[in-house]
């Protein structure tokens, strides 16, 4: 037992000696470990602060130039009031292309060129008219042919079937619909806080209504205008056909006219409506995307694009949709040059042709970018009406979105720091899978659909300060993308 105790004591002593030596080592070296870690953290923090300060100063400089300038507003006024509506295939669309190329050339980009693209050429013709007859009297309706619709070939007169949902249309037999005009009277949901969501939820009847009605034997389709306003201004927009069924005339009724027709149908379900539409689809024509470039100083082979669509519908002046986006994209180029900002990556400003009737310009750009095996960091578009900016809608991987949320802090002082999902740039959709991020400028949409696609879309509805704030946000985001990439 005594021998055992001696052995145990020796082991304990040896262990204590080892622990004492270990403690002495850490006591001698801990300060250097901690000091090194602290210094590393201080350097990292200081670097981040310097970077953030430099970025903040860069963004402030860009905003200063945008907000103090008058050229962008003058551009919008000229585009809206002098050139006016720029329907794809029209003489005004050609004028807009020439004007945009000439104006951006004055900003001295490294290159500027036209990208050819074949586009559809739909013509409304003489103003359409509509009325219904009930109780021996005729009541006028305000309507606008939907883009791409066929004409009526004279006056079309038929009874009306009113529906408020796809399910209601499906519940009707072909016999109940055949030879009639289907009246799609589903309103945008005023309870939806985000008006754009209400628009998207109701737009399917405009896009697909003529097809669904024709499948049941209808000879015409009327759509309640996609607006929350109660007025006499019809709102047009794109519609589609299916080659497997007959093409029938399709038009949008103003909300007041839609309500008037609905009330009349309650009193007289057998009333007849008459339509006279003179629209015609002509052969495709040659048009162009307008593209200006600032070559990247460090990574010229990487591209950041910022754009908008130059075409409009043939009603109004196209000031909000998308004149504001056009001048904002052009302004990004101007302020880069005015501030002497040299992008590390190549900046492309793209004014797309034919977003409204098939996005042919966006498709053509994506096709050529893919054929050239170009690397796109990001693609940004402004097509939200030119109202007060809130931030950006982004389609990208979670890791990339996290990067944008960091940058959003730099834009928060300018009320543009919100980051949402589901970008809404139609021209950017063909770039999905090619660019690491797709971004659309997100704006307050409270007023957008009161004027959208109607004769009310005119320059006087635009607030220049709101447009300038949006251009500042676009310039800032573009500058960060060009500087850091993704």
Domain membership flag for residue 1 = no
The contacts of residue 149 (CB under 8 Å, 6+ apart) are 210, 239, 249, 250, 251, 277, 279
Environment class of 294 (CB within 10 Å of its CB; exposed 0-12, middle 13-18, buried 19+): buried
Does 19 score more than 50 pLDDT? Answer: no
Domain boundary among 256, 278, 300: 278
Residue 40 or 160, more confident:
160
Please tell me the predicted confidence (pLDDT) of residue 33: 47
Full strand arrangement of the beta sheet holding 137-141: 137-141, 129-134, 272-276, 155-163, 181-184, 220-224, 250-253, 143-145
Looking at the structure, tell me whether residues 335 and 400 fall in a common domain.
Answer: yes
Q: Per the structure, how many domains does the chain have?
A: 2
Find, among 157, 179, 145, the residue nearest to 277 by Cα.
145
Looking at the structure, tell me whether residues 273 and 316 fall in a common domain.
Answer: no
pTM across the whole model: 0.89
Looking at the structure, tell me whether residues 143 and 97 fall in a common domain.
Answer: no
Domain membership flag for residue 443 = yes
Q: What are phi and psi of 36, to 5 degrees?
A: -65, -45
Looking at the structure, tell me whether residues 317 and 432 fall in a common domain.
Answer: yes
**Residue 304 token pair:** 């950041």
What's the mean pLDDT in 315-339? 98
Dump pLDDT digits (tens) for 401-439: 999 999 999 999 999 999 999 999 999 999 999 999 999
Looking at the structure, tell me whether residues 145 and 273 fall in a common domain.
Answer: yes
Percent of the chain, pLDDT > 70? 90
Please tell me the predicted confidence (pLDDT) of residue 134: 84
Please tell me the predicted confidence (pLDDT) of residue 52: 80
Looking at the structure, tell me whether residues 263 and 395 fall in a common domain.
Answer: no
Please tell me the predicted confidence (pLDDT) of residue 13: 35
Mean pLDDT across the chain? 92
Looking at the structure, tell me whether residues 295 and 270 fall in a common domain.
Answer: no
**Residue 420, Cα to own-chain centre: how many angstroms?**
13
**DSSP letters for 285-303:** EEEEEEEEEE--SSEEEEE
Dump pLDDT digits (tens) for 41-84: 444 454 555 568 999 999 999 999 999 999 999 999 999 999 99
Q: What is the CATH number of the domain that holds 202?
A: 3.50.30.30
Looking at the structure, tell me whether residues 298 and 355 fall in a common domain.
Answer: yes
Looking at the structure, tell me whether residues 267 and 373 fall in a common domain.
Answer: no
Please tell me the predicted confidence (pLDDT) of residue 222: 98
The contacts of residue 212 (CB under 8 Å, 6+ apart) are 166, 169, 182
Please tell me the predicted confidence (pLDDT) of residue 22: 38
Q: How many CB atoms lie within 10 A of CB 73?
A: 18
Q: What are phi and psi of 328, to 5 degrees?
A: -65, -45
Least confident window among 83-87, 135-139, 202-206, 234-238: 135-139
Please tell me the predicted confidence (pLDDT) of residue 313: 98
Q: Domain of 461?
A: 56-121+283-484
């Amino acid at each position: 037992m005594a021998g055992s105790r001696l052995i145990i004591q020796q082991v304990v002593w040896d262990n204590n000696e080892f622990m004492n030596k270990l403690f002495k080592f850490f006591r001698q070296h801990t300060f250097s470990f901690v000091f090194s870690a602290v210094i590393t953290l201080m350097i990292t923090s200081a670097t981040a602060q310097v970077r953030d300060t430099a970025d903040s100063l860069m963004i402030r400089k860009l905003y200063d130039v945008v907000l103090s300038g008058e050229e962008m507003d003058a551009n919008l006024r000229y585009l809206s009031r002098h050139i006016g509506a720029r329907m794809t295939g029209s003489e005004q669309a050609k004028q807009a292309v020439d004007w945009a190329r000439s104006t951006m050339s004055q900003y001295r980009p490294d290159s500027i060129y036209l990208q050819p693209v074949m586009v559809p050429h739909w013509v409304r013709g003489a103003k359409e008219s509509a009325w219904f007859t009930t109780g021996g009297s005729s009541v006028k309706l305000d309507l606008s042919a939907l883009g791409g619709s066929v004409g009526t070939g004279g006056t079309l007169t038929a009874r009306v079937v009113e529906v408020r949902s796809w399910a209601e249309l499906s519940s009707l037999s072909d016999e109940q619909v055949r030879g009639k005009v289907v009246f799609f009277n589903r309103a945008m949901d005023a309870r939806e806080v985000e008006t754009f969501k209400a628009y998207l939820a109701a737009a399917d009847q405009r896009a697909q209504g003529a097809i669904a009605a024709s499948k049941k034997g209808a000879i015409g389709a009327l759509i309640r205008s996609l607006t929350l306003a109660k007025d006499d201004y019809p709102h047009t927009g794109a519609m589609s056909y299916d080659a497997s069924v007959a093409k029938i005339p399709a038009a949008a009724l103003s909300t007041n006219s839609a309500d008037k027709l609905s009330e009349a149908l309650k009193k007289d379900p057998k009333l007849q409506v008459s339509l006279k539409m003179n629209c015609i689809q002509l052969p495709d024509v040659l048009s162009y995307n307008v593209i200006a470039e600032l070559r990247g100083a460090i990574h010229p082979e990487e591209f950041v694009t910022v754009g908008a669509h130059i075409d409009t519908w043939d009603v109004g002046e196209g000031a909000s949709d998308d004149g504001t986006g056009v001048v904002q994209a052009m302004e990004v180029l101007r302020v880069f040059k005015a501030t002497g900002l040299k992008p590390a990556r190549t900046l492309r400003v793209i004014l797309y042709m034919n977003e409204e009737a098939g996005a042919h310009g966006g498709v053509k750009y994506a096709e050529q970018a893919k054929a050239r095996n170009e690397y796109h960091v990001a693609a940004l578009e402004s097509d939200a009406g030119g109202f007060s900016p809130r931030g950006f809608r982004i389609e990208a991987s979670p890791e990339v979105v996290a990067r944008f949320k960091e940058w959003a802090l730099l834009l928060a002082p300018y009320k543009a720091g919100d980051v949402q999902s589901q970008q809404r740039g139609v021209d950017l959709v063909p770039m999905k899978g090619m660019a690491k991020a797709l971004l659309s400028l997100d704006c307050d949409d409270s007023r957008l659909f009161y004027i959208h696609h109607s004769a009310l879309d005119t320059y006087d509805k635009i607030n220049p300060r709101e447009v300038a704030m949006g251009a500042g946000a676009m310039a800032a985001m573009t500058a960060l993308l060009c500087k850091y990439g993704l």
